Structure 1
Amino acid sequence: MAQHRPAFPHRDAPRPQDAGARVKAVLGPTNTGKTHLAIERLCAHSSGMIGFPLRLLAREVYDRVCAIKGESSVALITGEERIEPKGARYLLCTVEAMPVTDRDLAFVALDEAQLAADHERGHVFTDRLLHARGREETMILGSSTLEPMVRALVPEAEIITRPRFSELTHAGAKKLSRVPPRSAIVAFSAEQVYAIAEMLRRFRGGAAVVMGALSPQTRNAQVALYQSGEVDYLVATDAIGMGLNLDVRHVAFAGLSKFDGQRQRRLTTAEMAQIAGRAGRHQTDGTFGTLAGSGHDAAFLDEEVYAIEEHRFPPLTRLFWREPEPRFDSIAALIADLESPPDRPQLAPAPEAIDLAVLRRLADEASIADAVRGPGMVRRFWDVCRLPDFRSQGVETHARFVARLWQDLRDGELGADYVAQAIAQLDQTSGDIHALQGRIAAIRSWAYIAQRPDWVLARDEMAARARAVEARLSDALHGRLTERFVNRRTAVLMKNLGVDSRLLNVRLEDEEVLVEGEHIGTLRGFAFQVDPGARLSDRKLLLAAAEKHLPSQLARRAELLTEAIHAGTADLTLEAGAIVWDGDAIARIRPGRSVLTPALVADRALDAIPQPQRKSLTAALEVWLDRALAPLDPLRRLDEASRATETGPDLRALLIALVAAGGAMARAGSGIERLDKARRAQLARLGVRVGSLDLFLPAMLRARPQALWSQLSSGQGTPPQAAGALPAALPLHGHAARFGYRALGKQQVRIDMVEKLLREAHERRGRAGPGPFVLDPARAVSMGLSTATYARLLRGGGFRPLPTRPLRADSFGPPAPVRWRWQPPHNGRVPPPAPAPIAPGGSFAALAELVR
């Protein structure tokens, strides 16, 4: 059992320079000037630091302080961006990136401190609330709901309550077309943001878009577009609720619920007020409301309106806490301390955050945990586990990424070439919206990695590259959204926007979509196609009405297909690198870490499926793909063996080459002669057959594995055929034989058939005893080999024909058969035979001529 540790570790004790330092808690609703006050106090001191909840807000304040103090005196420190001039005295940080213990600063402030009650990040804010102190002055900024916690946990703090500068009133629900200018429409998903922006573009001249996923440059350009008056509307996520100062007079909620990482839930009244408070700045009053048609659960309750207008919210009774200074004696001690409960009633154990979940997941893998020994190694391992999950793909996927990163960081730093290559792979502005969003999330991970002082060589250069790539991707994403807004007519754009199409009767019969009984299109697979015969005057309305109901239909289809995949009854095929269902490609395979581990990319048609069902279907498709590639398991075993530690270098090189060749390669030059008896036995146990001319996996010479290998190795190919053997011989087209065949003259022969014929020739030689012997070509003829092909095959295997005597003019009967002798190769090469006289006539005359 972990040793119980107090809630306040040793660093909570006052430092000598803290004697007489003032701690102020400035509490109140939005638009009370708290952040502005903190900036003024920061600039009044000789040094200082402010921690913000968002990097966008930190960047905004950084620009303001730079204008006052100069860029050489101000630092910006976030997880993904670090601008830190030598001798910088003023630090603007995200809360997680605040350097708490290694800086002696005159002033320290914590913004939005009420987030100490947040499930995911609360323990970080609580730690800063308890321990982040300035030498001369400390300021805690937050909502009035934090007051009881400040009195209990920071009793020395002077509490200052500030009133709101302007009034905030409820304006009810409005249609999007009736939302007044200088308004911000707040949505809780990227898709909803894009949909509303498109609608505003169509009848109000456009809108600026602000989301946390945008780069600071793109976000600043969008805000400038709004602040300059070029557009009168701003569509944003709830990120604007965290202190971004905008000229907003009305805030319209597109919904009152959001997905918080664990579940879809309704906003708390404090969260509603935080967002609604963006309306009305300084002495200008503001209003808030909802969008009409957003649903019955997207309307404010009377008690919620009263609480927001009067700024009355339930006080916080507990803050989340996690041990800030755990022991690093071992992974077990680290986990025990991180899970230890606090000893103060005002503190509650923090829910398991993603970093702790990853730590516990990787600790269960003996291959990783057994190698983490000593406090230094455990501390470094914990730092790697704390890599944020920017891609939001869950614990399992993120843990795999962290595990790969740890393998590279365990023994040192990442090389500059390696990091530069990883960043360069993401520097692609092509692709659709989801592809760009995925690359932005991935580059944020590398930006975070590049900021670590002991993780990357040439850190400053790599960090600059990552920031530049993120900016380019964000700009490309914005451009792609603009292009897409012009032509999008789907009901997803009009969902919850109060269109009259919600009154129409829409149903789905097989593949037909019917609106009021009229066929307007078909739903094939997951792709909707509008009926070209629909009347132009009704087209947009009918399209919007039909597609408004499509997400539920698509979700049901996705659930049925997911169940069929898990049951093994799904009618899916792999054709030309695409997974095909109902005649349409629903996913494609792309190169992964290796040829045998391809990546699955969902088709754009799946974008319309609601997120939970789309995620489940994508996971099921990955399971199906793994089953579909089962015929390649013999080759996968070779690949796994090539990475095993007990495999010697000679055998490893041979296995790598054999895997790269698809399980069949020429014996000459393969290095098989360098293997000792034990390595050859190991090769045989892996299923590799060593022939006279070739090394091959017999299982890879069947039709299905060959078709699969063709698709994986070249990205194209024929569909997998029914299991069975390929023809023994085929005509040779071009200069190279197809995979699994050996070129012999004008024909190509399957390599296992080559070995079979050579083995039979050796058996015939053994039965004949020493000296020349005669071979029966019947087997070769039955396989479809020509005489010339058979002769080339024998010569390649080391057999040499003996010269035949010329027939006398008075001879009768068939000529004597060609006799052969075995001439083993020397130094891997077979010497060419001496010229022999030609015996005219007879059934073997042509063979003798070709041999010559």
Structure 2
Amino acid sequence: MRAVLGPTNTGKTHLAIERLCGHSSGAIGFPLRLLAREVYDKVRAIKSDGQVALITGEERIEPPGARYFLCTAEAMPRTAGELAFVAVDEVQLAADRERGHIFTDRLLHARGREETMLLGSSTVEPMVRALLPGIEVETRPRFSTLSHAGSCKLSRLPPRSAVVAFSVEQVYAVAEMLRRFRGGSAVVMGALSPETRNRQVELFQSGEVDYIVATDAIGMGLNLDVSHVAFASLSKFDGVRQRRLTPAEMAQIAGRAGRHQQDGTFGTLGGSRNGGALEFADDEVYAIEQHRFAPLTHLFWREAEPRFDSLATLIADLEAKSGIPELAAAPEAIDLAVLRRLVDDPAIAEGVKTSGLVRRFWETCQLPDFRQQGPDLHARFVARLWQDLREGQIGVDFVAARIAELDRTEGDIDTLQGRIAAIRSWAYICQRPDWVLARDEMAARARAAEARLSDALHQRLTERFVNRRTAILMKTVGKDAGMLRVTLDEAGQVMVEDQPIGHLEGFRFVVDAGASHEDRKLMLAAAERHLPQLLALKAQALVREELGELTIEKGQVLREGRAVAQLERGKSASRPRLLLARELAVLDHAQKARLTGALEVWLESSLVPLAPLRALEEGALSPEAGSEVRALLLTLAAGGGSIGREAAGLAHVPKDKRPLLRRLGVTIGALDVFVPALLKPAPRQLLNAIGVDRRPLRERMEPVISLKGPLPAGYRRAGSQAIRVDMAEKLFRAAHDQRARSPGRGFSIDVALATSMGLSPDNFRLLMRDAGFRPGVARQLAEGAFGPPTPVRWSWRPPRKDRSAPQSAPRPAPQGSAFAALADLVR
């Protein structure tokens, strides 16, 4: 027998599952039905459906040949030695006021034939050693680090966070704020059915929402991918009084952060003051981070097998003390409180005389208070139930009618929660072996009703606390806009990931009227990213519908060769003004405005290749540019992206401004200043089409062309040929690299690069001469010598335009002149 103890995220439950599957039979008792169901699914996947059973108060799936049992602690088989392996999870709950005596009994008596394992917190170690001498205790360290992150406002809560509250009202309030500001959250409370909790957990696990709001039930083994746990309160009502959580309880909850090797953080939720000041004390932070807590000094005990001779004997046994110092008498639990109240009613007590009736009456009092109504109201329900059970079994028609009354999915969240709690009571009743006729049929009906109610409750929770539209926008705003799927339907509605965010009125985006203030800001942010492409799609569709295919030529927008609009120079070269042709001026104002809007959006999308030119124009307006750079950029923009170096005024541009020019895509070459992106065919053709650059146009912008007529835009003359300015710069740089490698007298230049471009040798020499390069005289081979010619040695000096002006000596004044006399006086 051994105890495996340690903080959360140490793999204790995983170890128990491995040991269970390694034996011929076994059982594990869990504190929650939800956790039992989770492990049941895992073991069933390993051992097959026919060998695995799930036994809880409300649910019993027990195949005839079952050998492995996953149970709640209350439903565990108590007989020792019948199964090869037995484990009890979270044994520290033996110190719980309400259920502690159950876990204490399992700790003392649940035994496996071959192996017994107790799992829990290290705080229970002294009690385990005292009550079970000779037990082997194994302490496991946490896989990941848990650290304190301080207080955090809800608006800055990191993704994959869990917020823990301790009342339904507080859970709803936090979830509502997360819905408004972060798109929503999953909600997990002990009052929810396991099915609803599973669906809500899946909502978080799948990533549909990044937040989960839960009560302290989250601390009992729910495996979630949580990176941060934020406490909305540090105190709770424990059934007797409002008190601050113990450090061990804090750690049990905070330990949900970080799974396996992933580190986690915990802290408080800033701005909330429910339940006292939200600050961890230094000693609490130390205890949680280092997993050091005060050990338990006692466990709660109650006689698990009382005598049923009479009601008085039963109560006396249930109130008896153990006589063992480590085992304190359990506080009055709900079942004993109900028993006392019903015994005080003579009409009930007088009818419970025999041992069999006493046992049956006690079993009835042990019906869990699923509705959380308290002892008085719950006692009334048990009293009515006892009236039916005292005479025998409850009839099928009566049970079916009660289930049918509850099997209604209309209503709000609280209404559905109440129905689920009530149906759980009937599910428990139908699971008892001798309480209901046609037990299996009624149990199946109760489970089916609970499943339908759970689906409806999940839908209501999602509708109230998850704003799918906001969640989608929160996930995508700030990321690459290309990752966001934005569409425009035929009705003009704008959809983000199939969620409507607004519509287009003409060419104006209008936010969905039903959106909240926070949603409106997010939707506008998403729309701004994609609005140009959406407007372009709509404009293209409208233009095709009304005008057909359009082209831009010679400063006009043409349709089948006829002018639809004129393009005039606007505020800058890249932003021409559009004026409708006279033929369209007869349209009424509304139609003309609609068509003009469509054409303007169409033109804007057509001018996308001129983005580098617009960057120059905008850079010229930047305060960072200064007057010298502004003049250069405006001259370069007016030249369509390339000008000769002599016209650039570089002598006036400070050296510290050169990085700004590079950021704008400007290259300062040996002979030209140019923007490489504007030398491509698309922007050159567009500049020519809108009438900005009327120089001859080359459709393909080849590197080297034969020169016939005026020099085309983007080219430099090279003898009888012309070379594109960026290709010329490539040749100049290659030559300067060769010069740098040969610091002596003369250097060689490889003409192969020029030849590959199509530049003839003679024209190459003329081009290089413009850049200051001079070829030497080739040395002839000696007479009778054979071999390749000696390479030509080149030299370089700055081009004439870059040389300093020569300082010539002043001419002497003619003798006898006034200037000569003045010179003599100066001397």
TM-superposed deviation, 1:234: 1.6
Give 2:141's aligned residue.
Answer: 163
Q: Which amino acid aligns with 1:400?
A: R
Q: Which amino acid aligns with 1:292?
A: G
Give 1:726's aligned residue.
Answer: none
> Deviations 1:554-611 (Å, cap 9, x if unpaired)?
xxxxxxxxxxxxxxxxxxxxxxxxxxxxxxxxxxxxxxxxxxxxxxxxxxxxxxxxxx
The secondary structure found in structure 2 opposite 1:221 is helix
Q: Which amino acid aligns with 1:319?
A: L
Give 2:215's aligned residue.
Answer: 237
Q: Where do residues 102-251 of structure 1 align in structure 2 (5 Å cutoff)?
A: 104-251=82-229
Q: Which amino acid aligns with 1:28?
A: G
Q: Distance in 1 between matches of 2:394 and 2:449?
A: 19
Q: Distance in 1 between matches of 2:216 and 2:447?
A: 24
TM-superposed deviation, 1:466: 1.0
The secondary structure found in structure 1 opposite 2:82 is coil
Task: Kindly indicate whether residue 18 of structure 2 is the aligned counterpart of residue 36 of structure 1.
Answer: no
The secondary structure found in structure 1 opposite 2:129 is helix
Q: Distance in 1 between matches of 2:112 and 2:186?
A: 38
TM-superposed deviation, 1:102: 7.8
**Aligned partners of 1:194 and 1:481 also within 8 Å:** no
**Aligned partners of 1:187 and 1:236 also within 8 Å:** yes
Q: Distance in 1 between matches of 2:198 and 2:324?
A: 43
Give 1:260's aligned residue.
Answer: 238
Q: Where do residues 417-816 of structure 1 align in structure 2 (5 Å cutoff)?
A: 417-485=397-465
Q: Distance in 2 between matches of 1:262 and 1:429?
A: 35
TM-superposed deviation, 1:261: 2.2
TM-superposed deviation, 1:210: 2.1
Q: Which amino acid aligns with 1:388?
A: P
TM-superposed deviation, 1:191: 2.6
**Aligned partners of 1:252 and 1:289 also within 8 Å:** yes
Give 1:67's aligned residue.
Answer: 45
Match of 1:306 among 283, 286, 289: 286
Task: Kindly indicate whether residue 59 of structure 2 is the aligned counterpart of residue 81 of structure 1.
Answer: yes
The secondary structure found in structure 2 opposite 1:341 is coil
> Deviations 1:424-478 (Å, cap 9, x if unpaired)?
1111112222222211111111111011011111111111111111122222223
TM-superposed deviation, 1:179: 1.0
Give 1:712's aligned residue.
Answer: none
Task: Kindly indicate whether residue 348 of structure 2 is the aligned counterpart of residue 373 of structure 1.
Answer: no
Q: Distance in 2 between matches of 1:431 and 1:278?
A: 33
> Deviations 1:519-544 (Å, cap 9, x if unpaired)?
xxxxxxxxxxxxxxxxx999x9xxxx
TM-superposed deviation, 1:99: 1.6
Q: Which amino acid aligns with 1:313?
A: F
Q: Distance in 2 between matches of 1:440 and 1:222?
A: 16
Match of 1:90 among 52, 62, 68: 68
Q: Distance in 1 between matches of 2:111 and 2:462?
A: 46
Q: Distance in 1 between matches of 2:89 and 2:395?
A: 37
Q: Distance in 2 between matches of 1:357 and 1:537?
A: 51
Q: Distance in 2 between matches of 1:360 and 1:232?
A: 47
> Deviations 1:299-342 (Å, cap 9, x if unpaired)?
21111101100111000010000011111000000000100111
Q: Distance in 1 between matches of 2:207 and 2:466?
A: 21
Task: Kindly indicate whether residue 33 of structure 2 is the aligned counterpart of residue 55 of structure 1.
Answer: yes
> Deviations 1:104-157 (Å, cap 9, x if unpaired)?
100000000000000010011000000000000000001001010011101131
CA 1:26–1:486 in structure 2 vs 1: closer, same or farther (change >3 Å)? closer
**Aligned partners of 2:81 and 2:113 also within 8 Å:** no
Task: Kindly indicate whether residue 391 of structure 2 is the aligned counterpart of residue 411 of structure 1.
Answer: yes
Q: Which amino acid aligns with 2:31?
A: P
Q: Which amino acid aligns with 2:319?
A: E
Q: Distance in 2 between matches of 1:80 and 1:537?
A: 45
> Deviations 1:5-24 (Å, cap 9, x if unpaired)?
xxxxxxxxxxxxxxxxxx11
The secondary structure found in structure 2 opposite 1:326 is coil
**Aligned partners of 2:160 and 2:210 also within 8 Å:** yes
TM-superposed deviation, 1:410: 0.6
Task: Kindly indicate whether residue 311 of structure 2 is the aligned counterpart of residue 347 of structure 1.
Answer: no
Q: Distance in 2 between matches of 1:390 and 1:90?
A: 27
**Aligned partners of 2:7 and 2:121 also within 8 Å:** yes
Q: Distance in 2 between matches of 1:152 and 1:50?
A: 23
Q: Distance in 2 between matches of 1:192 and 1:236?
A: 10
Match of 1:335 among 310, 315, 321: 315
The secondary structure found in structure 2 opposite 1:139 is strand
TM-superposed deviation, 1:486: 7.7
**If the length of structure 2 is used for normalisation, what is the TM-score?**
0.55
Structure 1 gaps, min length 5: 1-22, 488-535, 541-852
Q: Percent identical across equivalent pairs?
A: 78
CA 1:136–1:483 in structure 2 vs 1: closer, same or farther (change >3 Å)? same
**Aligned partners of 2:3 and 2:137 also within 8 Å:** yes
Q: Which amino acid aligns with 2:456?
A: A
Give 1:293's aligned residue.
Answer: 271
Deviates more, 1:373-382 or 1:111-120: 373-382
TM-superposed deviation, 1:226: 1.8
TM-superposed deviation, 1:189: 2.0
The secondary structure found in structure 2 opposite 1:317 is coil
Q: Distance in 2 between matches of 1:71 and 1:266?
A: 44
Q: Which amino acid aligns with 1:112?
A: E
Give 1:395's aligned residue.
Answer: 375
Structure 2 gaps, min length 5: 468-515, 521-827
Q: Which amino acid aligns with 1:387?
A: L
Give 2:494's aligned residue.
Answer: none
Give 1:705's aligned residue.
Answer: none
TM-superposed deviation, 1:485: 4.4
CA 1:156–1:41 in structure 2 vs 1: closer, same or farther (change >3 Å)? same
The secondary structure found in structure 2 opposite 1:30 is coil
Q: Distance in 1 between matches of 2:143 and 2:92?
A: 20
Match of 2:340 among 346, 352, 360: 360
Runs of 4+ with deviation above 6 angstroms? none
Give 2:253's aligned residue.
Answer: 275
> Deviations 1:687-707 (Å, cap 9, x if unpaired)?
xxxxxxxxxxxxxxxxxxxxx
Q: Distance in 1 between matches of 2:192 and 2:381?
A: 23
Q: Distance in 1 between matches of 2:189 and 2:62?
A: 25
TM-superposed deviation, 1:223: 2.1
**Aligned partners of 1:56 and 1:212 also within 8 Å:** no
Q: Distance in 1 between matches of 2:88 and 2:372?
A: 26
TM-superposed deviation, 1:406: 0.5
Q: Which amino acid aligns with 2:363?
A: D
**If the length of structure 1 is used for normalisation, what is the TM-score?**
0.54
Q: Which amino acid aligns with 1:436?
A: L
CA 1:221–1:437 in structure 2 vs 1: closer, same or farther (change >3 Å)? closer
The secondary structure found in structure 2 opposite 1:229 is coil
The secondary structure found in structure 2 opposite 1:138 is strand
**Aligned partners of 2:80 and 2:112 also within 8 Å:** no
Deviates more, 1:476-485 or 1:234-243: 476-485
> Deviations 1:662-685 (Å, cap 9, x if unpaired)?
xxxxxxxxxxxxxxxxxxxxxxxx
TM-superposed deviation, 1:192: 2.1
Q: Distance in 2 between matches of 1:113 and 1:196?
A: 32
Give 1:813's aligned residue.
Answer: none
The secondary structure found in structure 2 opposite 1:448 is helix
